[in-house]
Structure 1
């Protein structure tokens, strides 16, 4: 049996009313004991409890906070000591309505496995059997994030990448996630891989939109990043949409072909483990 690693973790809480002291745990920050540069952060995907406590909660800002903390953690040990930069972010966010608990100790087989366990124990609400199953794009995006988290690379990836950085101002498209293949220190050249959840279950408008934007994204990434773009669409398997020769099947094939004509790589949910494993190798995790 592998020796467990001594770790420390902090719970990140949303406190809408400091006077009342009511809170909801929304995330976990985990690190190896004495190693600030090993710290990783994970936020919830289910904001129902936060919305129940505060109907006016800025969920978009809370979601963005996870990425901001993750980016700041990358500088720990290089540009800033300890987790002080993270505390500064929280102190400046929503008038101290996001707080971090005192440190707690734990033993872990690995950081990715332990942070998943801590999220289940302290953050994620209990799932009931009557819970409605997510479908469509939400289900694909959730599965994609889960596989990247299992591979330990989610924290190293860019999220909700604004297409307007590469196309033109005003472009509303956001690409779910991506990374530059190769060395973390690389600043130019090589390949940038981006991934977008695209559901073909209802209609193919999302597929057509991604196909339309692909040439501008490719050109823009080459111009801005001086790198080649490999754009991947993650879709449901055909059998999940229809198992007969009907309109749904034809619509599915049309969507796939529209994207592939623009050199968009199309993979299904069953390919995600392999895609995540490749990311793990390319990001040297």
Structure 2
């Protein structure tokens, strides 16, 4: 039987009001308690992909900021572990310096792990992620842009490329000052920039129309600024999640949204294609 690794973990909590004392566990930091002779392994950090608990205690919570903070912390911990960061402060001090005022970290707790990634998944299920309730047939399937972005991130993380990708890319870099659009993620293999953006076709197709309108400006801007070709991919829900009958109003709107984007040379893929997309990214980024 494989010997288990002595580890310790810390819970990261969102605390919007210290006086009230309400909090929600949003993440886990896991590290080896006794680094091996081969050298230190970078600690692993993971934040939740389901922010419903945070929104329950703070409806105005800045979720994009919290998501960006996870990437920032992970990068700084990786640099400290590799010794490439001139800042010699201990890892916990780095974490505390990076955390926002509304976040707290708990005391260390011991655990034994078969591997750090597997243990991190287990700890997330135990302490952070909401309990999954089996839905009956009348329950509404979880769709919408939040579900799509969550699925995107999950698949890119599984492929090991999420940390290497650009996130929340400002369209204003390529279009015009004041453009508020933020594109979800992307990377640059060779002379092509691949950008992936979640577009929900549930309810209305305004997001699809906005992306289609912006695509030519983005393409010209990328050529001008990056001297590269832009390949834009919109990730949408499978049509079966939105429509009950083949020719109902939702189906017609869905097809309109897809065709609107495709006319502007935007490749449209569904969440079912994400595993293949992430595998391509893994090969192109040489992970």
TM-score normalized with structure 1 length: 0.80
1:174 maps to what in 2? 182
1:245 aligns to what?
A: 247
TM superposition shift of 1:172: 1.3
Offset of 1:246 from its aligned partner? 4.0
Q: Is the 8 A contact 2:10 2:105 kept in 1?
A: no
Give the number of aligned pairs. Answer: 277
Task: Give the unaligned 5+ runs of structure 1.
Answer: 182-188
Range with greater deviation from structure 2 (247-256 or 47-56): 47-56
Q: How many angstroms apart in 1 are the aligned matches of 2:103 and 2:258?
A: 44
Q: What CA distance in whole angstroms lies between the structure 1 residues aligned with 2:171 and 2:196?
A: 12
CA contact (8 A) 2:6 2:110 kept: no
By how many angstroms is 1:196 displaced?
Answer: 1.0
- What do residues 140-191 of structure 1 show as CA deviations (whole Å, max 9, x unaligned)? 222222222222322332222221122212111111222233xxxxxxx532
TM-score (norm 2): 0.79
Q: How far apart, in 1, do the equivalents of 2:107 and 2:227 lie?
A: 42
| Structure 2 partner of 1:266 | 268
What is the aligned counterpart of 2:121 among 116, 123, 131? 116
Superposed CA offset, 1:80-128 (max 9, x none):
46774673453364447433543644323462x4322221112112233
Instruction: Identify the residue that residue 282 of structure 1 maps to in structure 2.
Output: 284
Give the SS at the match of 2:251.
helix
- 1:159 counterpart = 2:153: no
- SS of structure 1 residue aligned to 2:42: strand
Structure 2 residue aligned with 1:144:
152
When residues 58 and 270 of structure 1 are mapped into structure 2, their CA distance, relative to the original with a 3 A threshold, is closer
Distance 2:127 2:236 in 1: 32
User: Residues of 1 paired with 2:264 and 2:56: CA distance?
Assistant: 43
Contact 1:6-1:108 at 8 Å conserved across structures: no
- CA distance in structure 2 between the aligned counterparts of 1:38 and 1:261, rounded to whole angstroms: 45
Q: Give the Cα separation in 1 of the matches to 2:105 and 2:10.
A: 10
> CA shift at 1:232, angstroms?
0.7
